[in-house]
């Protein structure tokens, strides 16, 4: 079914600014606010949620079984939903199963068994590297392998969940010993998360040609980071407690079917950039393996909320600037025989660009805290303060097609215990 001209009988879905037109149809888990009913699967349409039970799909409290169904099943369900939400003769029947989004409670859309975070944003890698290794900012393996680390799945939280400032060990350069206390350099990282669909058996790598068949969809992801804890503990094994206290994701999984019009070429290898090794090379992926997904981060302080001042935009960046594609990430993650499972989460790593305001973290925007940002009302920020709310948004736009969005991934920072 051609979808670019489709309209929905849910009028709010036809508004140009809507994140959830009929061309999107992202999946999530919800229940009515205040209701004792169990959470269940739904699809976002305009400012409403359609209960998936209306089309005969009962999911339970997570979408892992739907994720495991694979692309043929997802496409079939999408066609059913497109027809149900575009055919005006079906409005009376399906309108009974709509729940206003502002009257719904949203949950993590999948039960996340494992979470890996990658480092695909080359401009972030360069900017951060220059702060610590001015003469050699990019480590020698970066252009050969999609670097990543294993994160903490248990602390991945859905948008709206408060984030408690972490305690941890830090050590000042002049100090003789480290101390334990609240992080003073709390940061955000603008990322995307790729939700795994069908898994692979242990010991059986996924080829890059079939890697996207294992990706159910995409969520926004804020990888909260305690930079001072990270600096001390990352010697030599890398991120640990500086990252494991919270990772915020948006509640709606935007499918690859919805993202198809926004595919773009992979990041160009130029000059002396090496060609990826065979397990990471596919000509079709190089031609159209990227995704033009724009994402922004906003900050609203407690003072701004009290004065009803709108959140201030800090960052605006795009997954176009990722050095590695989603297919390359999946292929590499499984290249040693690692088994992925439905609902697993793969983070993109911080997305940064080269234009002013396109850095995906305060570490970059404030030059490590040396150049604080000015907020409306006179406040400044080198790093995140207690009471600050960070709000990540995402959107895809292209000429001749309907724009789609991702909703929000937000969290207010609470003081350390």
Angstrom distance (rounded) from CA 168 to CA 232? 10
User: Measured between alpha carbons, how far is 161 from 157 in angstroms, rounded to an integer?
Assistant: 6
Residue among 124, 210, 214, 279 flagged as catalytic: 124
| Count, residues in the chain | 417
Could you count the other beta carbons within 10 Å of the beta carbon of residue 338?
Answer: 17
Cα–Cα dist 60/156, whole Å: 20
- Return the closest-CA partner of residue 384 out of 182, 205, 116, 220: 182
DSSP string, 348-402: ------SSTT--SSHHHHTTTTTSPEE-TTS-EESSPPTT-EEEEEEEE--TTS-
What is the rounded distance in angstroms from the CA atom of residue 172 to the CA atom of residue 104? 46
Give pairs for 254-257: CB < 8 Å, separation 24+.
Answer: 254/24, 254/26, 254/217, 254/218, 254/219, 254/404, 254/406, 255/25, 255/26, 255/27, 255/74, 255/78, 255/216, 255/217, 256/212, 256/215, 256/216, 256/217, 256/218, 257/74, 257/75, 257/78
* CA 67/CA 343 separation, integer angstroms: 7
3-state secondary structure (DSSP) of residue 11: helix
What's the CA gap between 124 and 267, in Å, rounded?
14
Choose among 269, 271, 304: nearest CA to 286: 269
Task: Using DSSP, state whether 179 is helix, strand or coil.
Answer: strand
Q: Which are the contacts of 186, defined by CB distance < 8 A and separation ≥ 6?
A: 165, 166, 224, 225, 226, 227, 383, 384, 413
Query: Regarding beta strands 156-158 and 263-264, do their DSSP bridges make them parallel or antiparallel, or are they unpaired?
Result: unpaired
Cβ-defined contacts of 72-78 (< 8 Å, 24+): 74/197, 74/216, 74/255, 74/257, 75/257, 78/25, 78/255, 78/257
Q: CA-to-CA distance for 43 and 279, rounded, in angstroms?
A: 35
Q: Is there a catalytic annotation at residue 123?
A: no
Q: Give me the active site residues, please.
A: 124
């Amino acid at each position: 079914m051609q979808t670019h001209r489709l309209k929905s009988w849910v009028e709010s879905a036809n508004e140009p600014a809507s994140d959830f037109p009929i061309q999107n149809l992202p999946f999530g888990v919800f229940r009515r606010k205040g209701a004792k009913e169990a959470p269940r699967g739904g699809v976002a349409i305009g400012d409403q949620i359609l209960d998936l039970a209306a089309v005969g799909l009962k999911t339970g409290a997570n979408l892992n079984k739907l994720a495991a169904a694979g692309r043929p099943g997802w496409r079939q369900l999408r066609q059913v939903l497109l027809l149900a939400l575009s055919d005006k003769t079906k409005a009376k029947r399906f309108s009974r199963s709509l729940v206003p989004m502002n009257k719904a409670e949203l949950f993590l859309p999948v039960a996340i068994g494992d979470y890996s975070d990658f480092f695909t944003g080359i401009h972030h890698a360069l900017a951060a590297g220059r702060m610590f290794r001015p003469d050699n900012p990019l480590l020698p393996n970066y252009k050969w392998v999609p670097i990543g680390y294993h994160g903490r799945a248990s602390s991945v939280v859905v948008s709206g969940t408060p984030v408690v400032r972490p305690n941890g060990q830090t050590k000042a350069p002049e100090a003789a010993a480290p101390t334990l206390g609240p992080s003073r350099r709390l940061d955000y990282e603008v990322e995307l998360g790729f939700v795994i669909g069908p898994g692979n058996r242990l010991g059986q790598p996924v080829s890059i040609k079939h890697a996207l068949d294992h990706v159910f969809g995409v969520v926004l992801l804020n990888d909260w980071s305690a930079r001072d804890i990270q600096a001390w503990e990352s010697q030599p094994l890398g991120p640990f407690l500086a990252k494991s206290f919270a990772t915020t994701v948006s509640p709606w999984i935007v499918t690859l079917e919805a993202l198809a019009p926004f595919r773009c070429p992979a990041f160009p290898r130029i000059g002396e950039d090496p060609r990826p090794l065979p397990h990471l090379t596919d000509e079709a992926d190089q031609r159209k393996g990227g995704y033009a997904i724009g994402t922004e981060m906003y900050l609203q302080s407690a003072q701004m909320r009290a004065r009803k001042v709108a959140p201030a935009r800090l960052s605006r960046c795009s997954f176009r600037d990722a050095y590695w594609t989603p297919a390359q990430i999946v292929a590499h993650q499984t290249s040693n025989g690692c088994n992925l499972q439905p609902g697993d989460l793969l983070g993109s790593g911080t997305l940064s660009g080269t234009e002013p305001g396109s850095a995906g973290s305060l570490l970059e925007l404030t030059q490590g805290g040396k150049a604080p940002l000015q907020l409306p009302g006179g406040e400044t920020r080198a790093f995140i303060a207690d009471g600050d709310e960070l709000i990540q948004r995402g959107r895809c736009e292209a000429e001749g097609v309907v724009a789609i969005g991702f909703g929000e991934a937000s969290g207010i920072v609470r003081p350390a215990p």
